[in-house]
Structure 1
Amino acid sequence: MIHIDRLNSLLGLVIILCLVPMKQGIAADLTTIRAELPPVASWSGASEALIAEPGDAWITPAEQDNFKFTPSYRETRQWLERLVEASPKLSLHSFGHSAEGRELFYIKATPVRDDNGDVQRPVVLIQAGIHSHEIDGKDAGLMLLRDIGLGNKSKLIDVVDLVFVPIYNVDGHERPSVFNAAHLRGPANHGTRDTAQSINLNRDYAKADAPETRAMLGLIQELDPILYIDVHVSDGFDHGYDVTYTYAAWGRYMHSKAIADWLNGPFESSVNTFLRSQGHNPHFYPSAIDYHEIEKGLRVSGEGPRWSTGYGDHIRMPTVLVEMHNLKPYRQRVLGAYSMMEGALRAAATHLDRLQSSIEQDRQRRPDSLVVRWERDEQPMETISFKGMAFERYESAVSGEQEIRYLGRTETWSLPVTGQHPVAEVSLPKAWWVPASETKVIELMDVHGIVYETIDSARELELDTITMHDLELGPVYDTRVQVSGSASHAVTKVRMPAGSVRVSADQTLGLLAASLLEPEAMDSLFSWGFFPQMHHKTGNMERFIVVSLAESMLSKNGVLRDSFEAELANNPDFAADPKARLRWFQDRSGYGKSSYGVYPIGREL
């Protein structure tokens, strides 16, 4: 049986191939445009017993195709609707829409059906397809839901409910192409990394530009999950592990210390034991310092709230990033993802009391400072035994350098693991004051669920105000231009108009508020370009007026004259630039005061 959506996808691939310009002697087919992946190491495991037999009424589309294809959005939804209708343990829910209008939905698995919503049970939230070419979690989740709803895995939800989002990046999912991911060994029709708006959803948690992100943040606030699992597929180098996973900085630099202890303790021990029992080989996600020179070792880095793991750390929500290994066959990866999900459910249920206690303990924390810049350590923190894939180096006619060729067999390496150390931090204030005019910032506080109070009438306040110097526009990321600069502080009298808001640091989400509102933080709204007015130099006057004003200032203010002469002597570029010299005086004149570099959010000390 050929599915219409599958046929359309394949026809699209054929059309793409036909449009590839052909050079003399080169055929435009898959073998010429697809990278040749390394050899595959043989694998078998107990999890293979999870696969439905041919002809089974509840075989999933991926199983039916022997894991060569992944079902389309429509096929996925239709199969799940049929499953939900057949099982009283399952229900389908909407939680928003994508930029192109597709419905975002999830399946809830629970033994307790309560239409009034009065029953509160711990929830494990698992999402797949945040990068829709990394779609292993979707096909694994369909199998797991089948086995919970109709099979022998119903005990997995005796203690905790499962909420499963099969496709997060739904628009990208519906853009299958052979050009989407050359590094993935299947399936043949995966989607794109980014959304229809070219937004990487796993860099969008802090700035929340995408409608999909805002929908997910709303779902997180609604469910308040005790565990959040984000299923990906890796890139990088070849190695001997098929299921890798991590937390924010592998728990090394997490703000949520009690949660980090739970993840690095009961969770890791329980999950690894279960994965190995299913024939899989787990490891922490190995991020290499240099993928071309693996011997340099692995790196661990601090994380801001742009990522799912960093966001979870900032809001005190245990979060696990799962990275199936891209060079393993799709069948093995899907079975590994299934086993990881089952292992996570088992760990949450078995160690529920300590997990909930850890969450509550971290939610009571009120940090007084925030690290805003890290640097790589010079010496590794440890050296580990690591199962890598053997490789050889050869001279490439393409690059003209030595390149790596993997050989398809494992060997044991000794790899250093290098961390980071903080080099800059800021002391946190009692509160931040956001003027009423910063409507996008106030709206974003609502999106994140950050608590604030709104003033009904204007107030005169003494606040720590920040000026950002040496403003630089950085790279374009998604739909934003990143910004950097250095900060100076001064306590000044500020008038906050009616409608302005006070964001207290003394709240559960105070750490997230700090990371968004402190401009020096790595994922601050300043760094994401939320304040374009800071780059605008206003108040220009006619040149002859400025010259007259400057000459009068020089003649009447000896301190100013000395400062100007020092600037001329020490800055040749300034001395040679008439416009810069005149701007220097205008900025100090009090006329046409500029907002250039002035950060609009004040700090209550």
Structure 2
Amino acid sequence: MRFILLFMFTSLLVNAQNNPLTPFEKGNKNQSTTYEECISFYQVLDSNSDKIEMKTMGLTDSGKPLHIVVFSENKDFSFNQNKAILLVNNGIHPGEPDGIDATMMLIRDLANAKIKVPKNTIVVAIPVYNIDGMLNRNSFSRANQNGPEAYGFRGNGRNYDLNRDFIKSDTRNSRSFQELFHTVNPDVFLDNHVSNGADYQYTFTCIATQHERLGEKLGDFFKNEMYPEMVKDMQKKKIDVVPYVNIHGAKPDLGYEQFTDTPRYATGYTTLFNTLGFVPETHMLKPYKDRVKTTYEFMVTTINYTDANWEKIKQIRKDNLESFKAGNQYPLHWTIDSTKVSYMDFKGFEGGYKPSDISGKDRLYYDRSKPFTKKIPFYGNFKPTKFVTIPKYYVLPQSQWQIIELLKLNNIAMTQISQNEIIEVEIYKIDTYQTGKNAYEGHYGHYNTTVKKNVEKMEFRVGDYKISTNQLGVKYLLETLEPEAVDSYFNWNFFDTILQQKEGYSSYVFEDLAKQILDENPTLKQEFEAKKQTDKAFAENGGDQLYWVYKHSKYFEKAFMMYPVFRVN
């Protein structure tokens, strides 16, 4: 009898080690793991399963390392196998912890074969991306959210929203992610979130990344094959999937547009490297246990689809690069194409407006006792509004070391010039731009930027860089180095020093020189006199006239407004 009891106890102990419960499962399904519990959980899985390996992948602003947990059915944890790779990111906004808890269960269930084990796909998970945000645990920062009882905070330790930092990389988190991303080179990427905004019946919504940004071949496959099949699989599980409802302060009854995930966002960034991306957005007002369940099921659906179609996904990713060759046109700006509309049977709640108990003014409300299904329009297609010709290569002076560091982080291949060289390049001069009046993620960013172009021969020095566009990161180069792109390095203030003149003149000295300049340049003098005739304000302002001559003289500094990234076409 003692032997039987000992055997039973040992069996229970081994089962508990190999099949540990998460804090979510141990509690009342309205509790989320702490950071320490989460990492400890994965350490146990790593110790007890030869199909799981936990690795550290660089530092974060918290001072703690970024981890990844890798599941590989064949126990090979390298990333250069002939298999597909799925990367799952969790806790970029730790107040939205659904993915953190769901992924803990997912990795354990893969290790124990409780769910279908992928034979052709390696699953890589970031347990928590915003570690310091998760350590900032509270119960109140998500005022509109229905559980869990405690969770993390949206901003990281330096109060950055990490889901706006994938291009500018102000944080250690972003820099470590970029190294991690290019080490893993995922075919498919998930970034788990919880929604804000309107009320409706669905527990699960999803941002499927803008297919047009992927490129024609990959985008068509993503929109017409992959995503529809995944939605069908979720429906078999009796889970409806609709596009992310990005509506605040209004009802979705009249329809809505697809969310625009530019490269500052996670999936906007991963798209630049031909990775197929999804942002699951569970609905904030639904019970936490239901949100975790649907997040779990979507990850299972993604694994199964990727595993069944891994060869096709990898081949199309490779073929897609053909669309981005030097000389081709590349779209820098997009807008919703209102001529292309689809209709869906949207499951919402009747809503309206009534006097506020606080202000007495009209306020929006939803009546959950009055659900409806109504056909509404969805605008999920974009059209390009501005193009640039893809150059053969860029030339970047070595003085721009901050940009060079970011390009290296993103696995961009560069060649240094071995001897001084005169190259005919296309030069941009910043023509117009606007600047935000309020701080946004540590920047007063620019927008509506336009440039003027001319071609000149310039001398470049030993150590300057040539950067070919014939590489996997071609879209990353275009989105960061083309100043008119929405999330360009210019628009994120990396080149603001060119917007300020460094030299000037003393008017009383330059007056005589200005006369000499006009006398020696009849054409310039004619242009000057014509401007005085047509511009009354200019004709009455002596200072403006003197500056005009200075600006059109050889004394005016070339660096002012000259964008220090050069193109070779």
Normalising by structure 1, we get a TM-score of: 0.85
Q: Distance in 2 between matches of 1:197 and 1:564?
A: 52
Amino acid at match of 2:471: Q
Please say if residues 62 and 70 of structure 1, whose CA atoms lie closer than 8 Å, have aligned partners that are also in contact: yes
Q: Which runs of 5+ in 1 are unaligned?
A: 1-52
Indicate how the Cα distance of structure 1 residues 64 and 434 shifts in structure 2: closer, same or farther if over 3 A, else same. same
Question: Which residue number corresponds to residue 215 of structure 2?
Answer: 256
Tell me whether 1:310 sits opposite 2:234 in the alignment.
no
Alpha-carbon distance, 1:69 to partner: 2.5
The separation in 2 between residues aligned to 1:358 and 1:183, in whole angstroms, is 41
95, 99, 124: which is aligned to 1:163? 124
The question of 1:222 aligning with 2:165 is answered no
Match of 1:208 in 2: 169
Q: Contact between 1:240 and 1:281, CA under 8 Å: does it hold in 2?
A: no
Contact 2:396/2:566 (8 A) holds in 1: yes
Deviations 1:397-454 (A, max 9, x none): 5455432211125311222223443222111211111111111111111011111211
Aligned residue pair count: 549
Show the counterpart of 2:462.
498
Query: Does 2:334 align with 1:371?
Result: no
For 1:495, give the aligned amino acid: E
How far apart are the structure 2 equivalents of 1:278 and 1:569?
Answer: 75
* Pairing 1:476–2:439 present: yes
Partner SS, residue 477 of structure 1 = coil
Contact 2:201–2:347 (CA under 8 A) maintained in structure 1: yes
Matches of residues 24-423 of structure 1 in structure 2 within 5 Å? Answer: 58-114=20-76, 121-150=83-112, 152-153=114-115, 155-249=116-210, 252-288=211-247, 291-300=249-258, 303-367=261-325, 368-377=328-337, 379=339, 381-396=341-356, 398=358, 401-409=361-369, 410-418=371-379, 419-423=381-385
- The code of the aligned residue for 1:67 comes to K
Residue 591 of structure 1 aligns to a residue whose secondary structure is: coil
In structure 1, how many angstroms separate the alpha carbons of the residues matched to 2:123 and 2:307? 11
1:35-84 C-alpha deviation (Å, 9 max, x unpaired) = xxxxxxxxxxxxxxxxxx99997221112222333122111111221222
Q: Distance in 2 between matches of 1:375 and 1:401?
A: 34
Distance 2:512 2:423 in 1: 36
Q: State TM-score, norm by structure 2.
A: 0.90
% identical aligned pairs: 24
Contact 1:233 1:324 in 2 (8 A): yes
> Which amino acid in 2 is paired with 1:512?
Y
Segment of structure 1 superposing worse, 73-82 or 476-485: 476-485
**Per-residue deviation at 1:308?**
2.0
Q: Distance in 2 between matches of 1:135 and 1:143?
A: 13
In the TM superposition, what is the alpha-carbon distance from 1:576 to its structure 2 partner? Answer: 5.3
Residues in 2 aligned to 1:428 and 1:115: alpha-carbon distance in whole angstroms: 37
Q: After superposition, what is the alpha-carbon deviation per residue over 1:109-138, rounded to whole angstroms, capped at 9, x for unaligned?
A: 112224788855432111111111111001
Residue 486 and residue 572 in structure 1: after superposition, are their counterparts in 2 closer, same or farther (change >3 A)? farther
**Deviation, structure 1 residue 258:** 2.8
Distance 1:218 1:116, change over 3 A: closer
Asked if 1 retains the 8 angstrom alpha-carbon contact of 2:18 and 2:48, the reply is: no
Contact 2:354 2:365 in 1 (8 A): yes
Alignment-mate amino acid for residue 262 of structure 1: F
Measured against aligned partners, the alpha-carbon deviations of 1:302-329 in whole angstroms (never above 9, x if no partner) come to 5432222222222111111111111211
SS of 2:323 mapped into structure 1: coil
Match in the other structure for 2:524: 560
- The correspondence for 1:511, drawn from 475, 492, 515, is 475
Q: Which amino acid aligns with 2:250?
A: H
Q: Give the distance between the partners of 1:259 and 1:439, measured in 2 at CA.
A: 33
CA distance 1:279–1:303, shift in 2 (3 Å): closer
Q: Write the distance in 1 (CA, Å) between the matches of 2:550 and 2:444.
A: 29
Taking structure 1 as reference, are residues 422 and 119 closer, same or farther at Cα in structure 2, changes over 3 Å only? closer
Give, in angstroms, the shift of residue 263 of structure 1.
Answer: 2.7
Q: Distance in 2 between matches of 1:332 and 1:371?
A: 40
